[in-house]
Structure 1
């Protein structure tokens, strides 16, 4: 009589995989007693390198993530062992079908997989009973395959959930970083605007200071006293033609009168070039020109003041009604007009002369009758 004898794991109860001493160590796993594995081992389930893991009784290495996921899913068996068993079942089934077709199998014949040497097929029963046992074995294989599929489905769902949570965390971090960068750019733009406003304020303060200084030197009665400092340097600039002329601050013949200023050539101009100080009057465009009488007709008197003694020198002239210098200004100022040979340079530097005092010259301009 002949019969088919199968290994015990062919029943409803799953059989653990053979130990490393029986079938050899799994690929990528060092041998040894079960317990915590060394850093850098490869997980036999997910095939990823893991800093920390666990070596199961079967000899397979499992990382902490896979161990935790299988515990949540209620899976106690080793997934690698189940996969190996499924492959072996299919191989053994193919061999049994093949031997049944041949009609006999030698007792003690070695099967293809060395890890399942306990699964020995003996032909002790006739071909009439073999098909029933074969159908039973097929049902068991299908049941185990369904179990494996369920386990894979649960693990896939758990891995998907973990990946989704990780992606959400990454997106959250990206959003926070984007908001921080936008805030930084906004603050930088605001600081740049504040810097621009501060620069404009500095310019306004400077202009305001210049206007205050000019107002302090401005007169509104037709009499103007002008102290010209740093004469030595300005003389050198006039000789080198670097700055041949110097302008005075503006003054007025009255509160609503003509706006004027003085222009002096320290080394002379025109007929007085190189020999005399030349002093001119400049008619400027004013705020109240619209109601003043034109052309300008008031007498002009210039005086070089002796700052120590009383040897003042004065010269006067009357404007020419035909001269363009005394018409109503259409630009910022008209062409200067005055006295080219106002004061000889030789007398200015003569011994005992005190017109230059503390490197300063003093001029006076008196504009004739300002009763309009």
Structure 2
């Protein structure tokens, strides 16, 4: 590119200036000075150089400069000045005399020249190759997908619309499909598209539809008995076999009771009408068997719930009502759940008379204990000789201030109540007719929330009543 002097002197950078009055020898020495050091100039020379730079900045031509400074020596001195390339900030390292700058700019790789494809852009020589290859609107290039040739501008419009560009399916099935085939893939070939079941019309992902067909209730199937019925929906098959199929074989309704008869639905109906007595007998046997099972379960359950600790805590609730009933009904007795002295020990039961018994009638609560026939009586020592104590708990809010009532005894071996019991035990055991008076019952917190707590404790280690 050819430039006028005014153009390439506008951005000149002078690393050093010299006085036009110095000899050529001095100028040679100045060329060896580092470009970053500026020698001191005379006032006359500095004034002239400033005027020249001002005129260059105002686009003055070389002829105008020569008209003002026609002195050949001054011109020679100026043109011999060492300058940087006008593109030194872009990276050009060239520096030489001013007269050589024009020739340098014709080859400087940082100098901008018009695009050779005539797109109108000014591009540095060093970037021209990349510009022509990648960014020039007038470049000729081929689409990497369809291999058609376009100008750079047309290729930018073509990008994103090329029908041969491979794209991932939007349904995330993992397939890459040409843009022109993407719509057809999503509607027909995508494994993740939604497809309605042709039997029940519900929508499913395409790759799960075969699994749905295996259990779809509306899938048509034939009766396994090959009866005259038309094709059935899978969900209607059970009802058809039980109620409608004319050739299916059924067991008798009383098969669980022991009847082994089998036949078609109509034959089964006739069988039921003709064998009522037989079915009734079978059901009676089942009921009897179940009664024995129930009795056995009840026995096992009662054994699991028995107390084998030798100590019974007896909770008597709604005591006021029971006291009123005992006063109106002579000899009313309340009995406790049975309990054992140990797992294989004596079986005992406590009882109380709310309105008293014998000497305590109408004035005291009477408590007793009786020995019941047990499973292991044949292995136990008789007569019964363990000490027995009764405790009525004071339910005071402060346990330290509670005052319980305790009575105990050691059985008399001569008393018949402590001998091995027969199948029918004595109606009355041994105890205390005057255990606690009705008056005492009201003085402390023996009864709280209409409830009494009585402890009956059997201790085989005690030989003295406590």
Q: Give the number of the structure whose alpha-carbon radius of gyration is greater.
A: 2
Q: Using CA pairs below 8 Å that are at least 6 residues apart, which structure has the higher relative contact order?
A: 1
What is the TM-score of this pair, normalised by structure 1?
Answer: 0.45
What is the TM-score of this pair, normalised by structure 2?
Answer: 0.37
